[in-house]
Amino acid sequence: MSNGAENLQDFLAFSSFVTGFPVFRLRGTGQAEPYLSTVVKVVGDGTTRELLSRFRAIQTESGDDVTAMEASLRARILSDERLGPIARNIIKLWYIGTWYQLPAAWRDAFGVLEHDSTFVVSPAAYTEGLLWPAVGANPPGAKGPGYGTWAEPPRFPDVP
C-alpha cells in the first residue's frame, strides 16, 4: 500500500469499529501489521485501499453519530457484494486468527485469488485472538491463568 502508517491507522480504525475492541487492545495483540499484510496479500492493495477509503468516508460523513455510522457501514461495506465478504473475513481474522477462503459465490463473481485459501496467519494469532477476551477465557494450551486457579470458580465478564 502506498502509505503504510496511514493505511495501518485506517485498518486499525476499521478493525476497532467492527470488532468492538479499542485500537489500544488491537495493537496489543501484535497482530495489526500481520493482519493488514495478510489482507493486502490476499485481496490486493487496490481492494484493501478501497475498503479502507470507504470506511474513512463513512467516518467523516457520520461524525460522532455511531448509529449512522453502523447503518452506513452495513449498507456501504458489509452489504457490498465485493467488499462485504472481505470485511467479514477481517472480523474473523481478529477474533480467530484465521483467514478463511472467500466464499465460492465471491470467487465466481470476482475471480480466484492466488493467495486466497484458509490459513492461520501467524503462530501468535491463535493465542492473541479476540475470541478469548470476548468470552473471558484463556486460550487452551496457552496463557495459563496461573497456579491454583482451578480451585476457584471461573470468572465471567459482565455483559453490557
Q: Which domain holds residue 76?
A: 2-124
Q: Is there a domain that residue 147 lies in?
A: no
Per-residue pLDDT of 26-70, as tens digits, reads: 999 999 999 999 999 999 999 999 999 999 999 999 999 999 999
Per-residue pLDDT of 124-159, as tens digits, reads: 999 999 999 998 888 887 777 777 777 777 766 676
Number of domains present in the structure of the chain: 1
Q: Is there a domain that residue 137 lies in?
A: no
pLDDT number for residue 160: 64
Question: Is 2's pLDDT higher than 60?
Answer: no
Per-residue pLDDT of 62-111, as tens digits, reads: 999 999 999 999 999 999 999 999 999 999 999 999 999 999 999 999 99
Q: Is there a domain that residue 159 lies in?
A: no
Q: Is there a domain that residue 143 lies in?
A: no
User: How far from 156 is each of 55, 129, 132, 133, 137, CA to CA, in Å?
Assistant: 33, 18, 11, 10, 8
Contact criterion met (CB below 8 Å) for 23 and 16: yes
Q: Is there a domain that residue 157 lies in?
A: no
Work out the widest C-alpha separation in the chain, in whole angstroms: 54
Q: Is there a domain that residue 148 lies in?
A: no
Beta bridge partners of 99: 119
- The structure's pTM equals 0.88
Q: Residue for cell digits 472467500?
A: 102
Q: How many CA atoms lie within 13 A of 34 on its CB side?
A: 21
C-alpha cell at position 98: 484465521
Contact criterion met (CB below 8 Å) for 128 and 30: yes
Q: Is there a domain that residue 133 lies in?
A: no
pLDDT number for residue 115: 97
Name the band, by pLDDT with cuts 50, 70 and 90, for residue 12: very high
Q: Is there a domain that residue 132 lies in?
A: no
